[in-house]
Amino acid sequence: MSALFDQLVRRIQLDGPLSLADYMAQVLTDPHLGYYSRQQADGKDPFGRRGDFITAPEISQMFGELLGLWCADCWVNLGAPPRVILAELGPGRGTLMADLLRAAKGVPAFLAALEIHLVEVSPSLRRRQAQALGDLEVTWHDSVDQLPTSAPLLLLANEFFDALPIHQYQRTRQGWAERRIGINDAGTELVFGLAAAVPGNRLLGLPPADIGAVAELCPAGNAIAQAIGQRLAAQGGAALIVDYGYLKTQAGDSLQALRAHRYHPVLRDPGSADITAHVNFQALAEAAQAGGARPLPPVTQGEFLTHLGLDQRASQLIAQATASQAKDIAEARKRLTGDAEMGRLFKVLALTTSDGPDLAGFPTSQDPGETQATPKNNPG
C-alpha cells in the first residue's frame, strides 16, 4: 500500500470517516504525495497521450490562441488600461498561457500591459509552467486571494473547477446523508459509507430529489467564484471559466477517476488517478454574482470557439500544413467543438462587471432571445 493510503487510514482511525471533499483535497493536492504534485521518475505528468487525460490546450494550439485574442479584445473594450493582471487558475503544463501569449504578440500594446500571475498548488507543475513560459516574468500564488488588486483583472480557468473537492449527499428516508469514506474491517481498503442524515428533505443548495438519489456540492469552487466576483467588482475586468458540467442545479453522481485515459475506481490506489466531478455552472454564477460580478448566460465550448473564429484559424493552419498535420488540425477542430465530443459537454461562463463591456463569443444584451442558453445545451 502507498504512503498516501497509510496517511488516509491513520487520519480515519483518529478522526473518523472523511468527507469526500477532505479525501479529494488530500489525494489531489497533498504537496508531496498528491496526484498533481507527484513527479514521476521519467518526468511524466498527468496530461496528454502518455498521461491520464487530455485537455483542450493540449489538443490544439488553437484553443490558447483564441483565448488570447479574447483577452486582447476584452482589454481593448476595457479602454486599453496601461496595466492589466492576467491570471490563470490551474495552468497545468502552461500550454494555454504560452499559446495565448504568442497570439497576443499581434496586439503589442496589450502584451506590454500584461502582468502574468498563475495560481497553482503543485510544485512540480509550477516548474513545468516556468519551462513553458521561458524568460517571461511570472508570479505564482497558492490562491486567488493573493492576486494583486492594483489593476483590472483578466482571469482564465480551464478544467480547474472540476478538480476542486466536492461533497456528496444521498437522499434517504430520513433526509440527506453525507457520503463518507472509511476503512473495511480488514483494514485493507477504503470504502464509502453514509453519515447520519440531516433531518428534513432540504439541505441548502441541494435540489429536490427522489430517495436514493445522490447530489453534490462544491463549496470550495463556489468560494473561489465569489472571490473572483469580489475582485472584478473592485478592480474591473472579466473572467472566463471553461469546464465540463451542467447549467442548472440537479441531482446526479458525477464523480469520476481517470488513469491512463480509462475510468478507475475512485478509492483505489489514492494519488494514482485524477479525480474530478462535473461543474455546477448555476452555483458558480450565483456565487460570482453574490461577490458582485455580472455573470453572462453560459454558452457551450463549441459555440464559443466557433464564434471566436476556430474554423477560420483551422483553415489558415491547414493551408500551411503537410497532409498529416492537416488531418490532425481537422481532428482537433472536431474534438474541441463536436457535439459528441467536447463541444457540448464543456461550457463557458463569462463574468464581468455591472458596467463592464460586452464580451466576444457571448450574445450581446442587444440580441433578444439569444441571452438565454438554448434548451439543447441544458441537460436538466
Residue 90, interface with ligand SAH (CB under 6 A)?
A: yes
Residue 163, interface with ligand SAH (CB under 6 A)?
A: yes
Residue 161, interface with ligand SAH (CB under 6 A)?
A: no
User: Cα-atom radius of gyration of the chain, to the nearest Å?
Assistant: 21
Q: For ligand SAH, which is the closer residue by CB, 163 or 238?
A: 163
Count CB neighbours of 108 within 10 A. Answer: 9
Residue 276, interface with ligand SAH (CB under 6 A)?
A: no
> Taking contact as CB under 6 A, which single stretch among the options 118-126, 173-181, 194-202, 257-265 is the one that binds ligand SAH?
118-126
Residue 29, interface with ligand SAH (CB under 6 A)?
A: yes
Beta-sheet pairing, 114-119 with 214-217: unpaired
Residue 57, interface with ligand SAH (CB under 6 A)?
A: yes
∠ Cα 77 82 86 (to 5°): 75
- As measured in angstroms, the least distance from the Cβ of 206 to ligand SAH is 23
Residue 5, interface with ligand SAH (CB under 6 A)?
A: no
Residue 61, interface with ligand SAH (CB under 6 A)?
A: no
- As measured in angstroms, the least distance from the Cβ of 358 to ligand SAH is 26
Ranges of H-type helices in the chain: 3-15, 20-29, 56-59, 61-77, 95-104, 108-113, 123-133, 219-235, 281-291, 301-308, 310-319, 323-337, 342-345
* One of 22, 30, 45, 58 touching ligand SAH (CB under 6 A): 58
Residue 119, interface with ligand SAH (CB under 6 A)?
A: yes
> Taking contact as CB under 6 A, which single stretch among the options 153-161, 167-175, 230-238, 368-376 is the one that binds ligand SAH?
153-161
Count CA atoms within 13 Å of residue 107 on its CB side: 19
- As measured in angstroms, the least distance from the Cβ of 266 to ligand SAH is 16
Distance CA 71, CA 86 (A): 9
Q: Nearest Cα to 126, choosing from 36, 32, 34?
A: 36
Q: Nearest Cα to 313, choosing from 57, 66, 58?
A: 66
> Taking contact as CB under 6 A, which single stretch among the options 160-168, 178-186, 232-240, 264-272 is the one that binds ligand SAH?
160-168
Q: Which three cell numbers stand for residue 332?
A: 482537433
Q: For ligand SAH, which is the closer residue by CB, 78 or 100?
A: 100
Residue 30, interface with ligand SAH (CB under 6 A)?
A: no
Q: For ligand SAH, which is the closer residue by CB, 190 or 224?
A: 224
Residue 47, interface with ligand SAH (CB under 6 A)?
A: yes
C-alpha distances (whole Å) from 165 to each of 1, 156, 187 are 23, 19, 25
Residues in binding contact with ligand SAH, number by CB under 6 A: 21
Q: For ligand SAH, which is the closer residue by CB, 8 or 342?
A: 342
Edge-to-edge strands, sheet with 274-276: 262-264, 256-259, 274-276
* One of 30, 73, 120, 286 touching ligand SAH (CB under 6 A): 120
* One of 51, 64, 68, 92 touching ligand SAH (CB under 6 A): 92
H or E segment to which residue 175 belongs? strand 175-183
Distance CA 297, CA 80 (A): 25
Mapped onto helix, strand or coil, the DSSP state of residue 119 is strand
Residue 346, interface with ligand SAH (CB under 6 A)?
A: no
Residue with cell 469580489: 230
Q: Quick one: how far is CA 375 from the chain centroid?
A: 23
Residue 159, interface with ligand SAH (CB under 6 A)?
A: yes
Q: For ligand SAH, which is the closer residue by CB, 51 or 363?
A: 51
Chain residues in the site for ligand SAH (CB under 6 A):
28-29, 36, 47, 55, 57-58, 90-92, 96, 119-122, 125, 158-160, 163-164
